[in-house]
Structure formats: structure tokens, C-alpha cells
A and B are shown apart, each in its own frame.
Chain A
Amino acid sequence: MPTVTICTDAFVGLAREEAKNLGMPDLPLVIIEHPIGGESPTVIDQRAEDALPQVIAALTGTAAPSPAHHATAADTSLTFAGDDEVMEGFHARRWTDGLPFVLPTEARVRAMVAGSGRAASDVIAVVPPRWAEATVENIAVNAVMAGCLPPHMPLLIAALQAACDPAFGLYSVQATTHPCAVLMLVSGPVVKELGLNFSHGAFGPGFRANAACGRAMRLVLINVGGGIPGDGDQSTHGSPAKFSYCIAENEAATPWEPFRVTYGFDSRDSTVTVFSGEDPHNINDHVCTSAVTTLTVVGDTMTTIGHNNAGSVIRGDVLVAFGPEHAHTIASGGFSKRDVQQFLFEHARNKVGKLKLRAMYKAGNWPDWVDSTDDEALCPIVGQPEDIHIVVTGGPGKHSAFIPTFGTSKSVTRRIEGRTG
């Protein structure tokens, strides 16, 4: 089918890479000035005039298609003059997150592979937007660079499998202008086995397992998936969460059933759940002493129209990470986890008239029962209560966190298989 793709010039790199990575390097592009969103009809008319000759040439031209050629494997090893040259060479190739890293020598990588309990050549996933295979060895190289230990490998493998589940939509999560990162939420015995932090500073620095595992995921997304800022990652601002984003459930402080049990796993299982999360949005409430008042503050924080879930209602989900003190205030009021989800589903809503300020989010993404003709009607931020996920994490203090997501991505949970202790 003769096809032509109009592309604003800010996206040419992504478009060419995507065409190449999907086996169509000669796919014609029509390049016009960026942007088109938010521009007047007059500007759009000009863009169309600019596109016209290119469209005609692309659909009726005589450019000879190049012959088919076959993919080739990248070099698997490289030799440098010394340690500093490795560091500078990797940075120059954009194979890092910009920080120093552990040199992935063969011995270190072999030890990391052994931690997985699998063969080095096992293919774990195909990672977009480069659509490259991630073998156990590929993951291990990036894990070494990130500062992981061999017992971290089963967690990394499960997390990458979850991120590459079609429901997660990793291509868009990687390539979007939105600042979403891949948030890993770990639940179960593996939390203590790996020394993952679940208390003070749950989202922050200071703990090797969280920092290194989250960083390893990011390096895999960059180096295997091609999520390089400005190329496969078109995020306008990026995010601090794109350095490392791995948290753990504070199960001892949870007044409800553990996170994994809510989703049908055995309490003896360990799981990792991936979310296409923005940075955490703080929820500060030092005053409320009842479940309803506390949850009202939480719901209000969730009800801003600048995040993607306000509008992309049906296809997304969100995470609320309660601090233990807020969780106990709420549970003491007799609220189960399901009650919390229902309350927030009913109260974290925006008026249709307010949502209309954001023209890109249309009623087609809203539940059928929301009257899109009534500006006073209320629209939730997700399609059902179950799409508001609840976890308890963090230390003492009257804070919780709301994590909006990409909006057209669903979180995915996988059991962590293999030895981690």
C-alpha cells in the first residue's frame, strides 16, 4: 500500500528511526514545520501548502525502492585503552544516563547472568522503539553498569517482561512528549531479601537496591529500547524519575491486605508492578483526623486537569501511595482498600466544562454515562474504581503521594521468579 507520513520536523528523528526499526527505512516522510497543535487554521493551511508537493512526490514519485537487506547484530564486545576511555566512549555513544557507571567487564556480566538462573542468550522481551531483543546478557550488562548485584536479576527480568506487555504500551511510554517514566513497585518477601527501602524516603536516594534496580531499568530502556532523549524519547522535559524509579511496599505498616494479594497473588509470592508514572505529586495533610476528610484532600490532589488521566479516562490507571499515618487514619474509619478506591473514584472528578479547556482530550475517551454536553457534569479520572491502585509506602509523617500516568497505559504486574535471597 503506497503510504506517506506527514511529520513535524521535531519528530523526524523518531520517525526515521521507527521506520528503520520496523523494516521500512525507505518509508517516505513529508516534513513540515513543528508544531501544528495549538496553531490557527491559517497556519494549518500554510503547513498543508508546504506539504503538498512532498505528498505528491512521495505517492507518485519514481524513487527506486532499495533492495531488502537483513538486520545485523551489534558488536557484543569492545576494547578500550583504559577505564577512563570506556567511560568517555560510552558517554560519547549515548549509552549512559549521564552518570558514571560500573564497567561491564565480561567477568562482572557473567556473574550477573548467573544471578538470573537463566541462559545468557534467553530473549526476555523485544523493547521499543528500537524493537531490539533484550537477552539476559543485555539486561545483565546494563545491570552491571547501574550498580546492581546478581540477586537483583530476577526482579529486573520480571519488570522488563511487565513493561513489554502490550497492555503497558511501552512504545508510546518511551516515545511520548509526556514526562512519564517506568515506575517499578515491588511487593512481597523479595523486598527484604534484596534490601529494598520501603520506609523514610521511599521514592528517594540512599538505598542501593532501589537506586540500582530503577537505574538498570532506565539503562535497558535507553540502550536496548533506544529511549534516548531527543530520539526514541521525545519527552519535552524528561523527569528526575527517568534516572531511577523503584519503590517497595511497606507491608508491615499496611492496614490492608498486601498489594500483590489484591491482584490475586499468594502472600508468599513476590511481584513487581510497572506504572507509566509521572513524578510523585505530594499530598500534605497534617490536619485531617477522619477517613473522609483525609480522602477528600487526596481526591482534590488527584483532580487537576494538567495530567493525562484527566481526559484519557477509560484507558489509564493511577497509583496512590499512602504514607502509613494517612493509611491508618483512613483504615481506622472503617475503610477497606476497595472503599478507598470507590471514594476516590467518586470524588476525584472534574467538571466537563473545565475538561473542555483541554481540547485534545475528547468525550470519546470518557465513560458513556458522562454527559459531555453538560458543562456541570462530573467526569472521573479513570474508568472504574479498580483503576485507582493503592499501596502503602514511606516512613512516619503526614504525607502521601499521587502518581498520575501516561493515560493510555495500564499497569502490569508480574511474579518475580527465581532466587533473590
Chain B
Amino acid sequence: MAITVLSPLGTNRVDARPITPRLRTLDGVTLGVLNNSKPNSLLLQQRVVELLSKRYRIGEVVTKQKPSAAIGAEKLDVYAREVGAVLTAIGD
């Protein structure tokens, strides 16, 4: 016999929005490196910046380091005014 049950799921009510348009070039861009303190993560990001610097005239690099991956970054609005693009990372 057919049976009707209720769903155990909740509802995410966050509206999706488009991402910021991409840049035409990285020349002259102040690059943000947002790091989560995972082992080797800052080294990886620094290596990527070094490789980018061989192809582009990157402006200043502003590194912001969280004390732990488990803690949200603070004052991101201020950081966003300092930099033109952000390179961040997730994973182990």
C-alpha cells in the first residue's frame, strides 16, 4: 500500500549570484594571498605567485593568514579594498 512520508531535509534559502567579472590581465594587479595555515599551503601559494610573476608584472602581493583553517577570516571587507584579485586554497 502506498505510503506518504515527510522529507528529512532542510531548505537552503541563499540566493545564488553571479561571480565578479574576471580580469583582462594580471599586469599591475595587487594580488591577495589568503592562506588558511594548513601545512604547505602557504608554500604552494607562494610558488604559484612566483610562477605568475614570470608571466605578468604582478603588483604588490598582500598575504593574509588565518590562524587556523577552522576559523573564518576577519576583516575581509578591508582586505578586499587592498587587493585586485585573491588566491586562496582549501584542502589538506
Kindly identify which residue among A58, A95, A133, A142 contacts B11, using a CB–CB cutoff of 8 Å. Answer: A133
Q: How many A-B residue pairs have CB under 8 A?
A: 246
Segment with Cβ contacts to B, from A43-51, A200-208, A261-269: A43-51
Chain B residues within an 8 Å CB radius of A11 = 90-92
Is there a chain B Cβ closer than 8 Å to A169's Cβ? yes
Is there a chain B Cβ closer than 8 Å to A292's Cβ? no
Chain A residues within an 8 Å CB radius of B43 = 41, 44
Count of B interface residues, CB-CB < 8 Å: 56
Closest to A43 in B: B40
Is there a chain A Cβ closer than 8 Å to B22's Cβ? yes
Q: Is the CB of A223 within 8 A of B10?
A: yes
B1-25 Cβ-contact flags toward A at 8 Å (1 or 0): 1111111111111111111111111
Q: Is the CB of B18 within 8 A of A65?
A: yes
Q: Is the CB of B92 within 8 A of A37?
A: yes
Is there a chain B Cβ closer than 8 Å to A104's Cβ? yes
Is there a chain A Cβ closer than 8 Å to B87's Cβ? yes
B26-64 Cβ-contact flags toward A at 8 Å (1 or 0): 100000000001111101110110111001000000000
Tell me the interface secondary structure of chain B in the complex: loop
The B-contacting residues of A in range 363-421, CB under 8 angstroms, are 364-365, 406-409
What is the CB-to-nearest-CB distance from B39 to chain A, in angstroms, rounded to a whole number?
4
Q: Give Cα A77–Cα B26 distance, bound, in whole angstroms.
A: 50
Chain B residues within an 8 Å CB radius of A106 = 4-6
Q: A34-B92, A81-B2 are in contact. List 5 more A-B contacts (CB 8 A).
A: A10-B92, A28-B19, A105-B6, A131-B14, A133-B12
Q: List 30 A-B contacts (CB under 8 A).
A: A1-B80, A1-B83, A3-B19, A4-B86, A6-B45, A7-B90, A24-B17, A36-B44, A47-B47, A48-B44, A52-B51, A52-B52, A55-B87, A60-B23, A65-B18, A66-B18, A74-B7, A77-B6, A78-B4, A78-B7, A81-B2, A105-B6, A106-B6, A127-B10, A133-B10, A141-B7, A224-B10, A312-B68, A362-B37, A408-B71
Task: Identify the 9 closest CB pairs spanning chains A and B, nearest first.
Answer: A8-B91, A132-B10, A48-B47, A65-B18, A224-B10, A172-B70, A223-B8, A408-B70, A11-B91
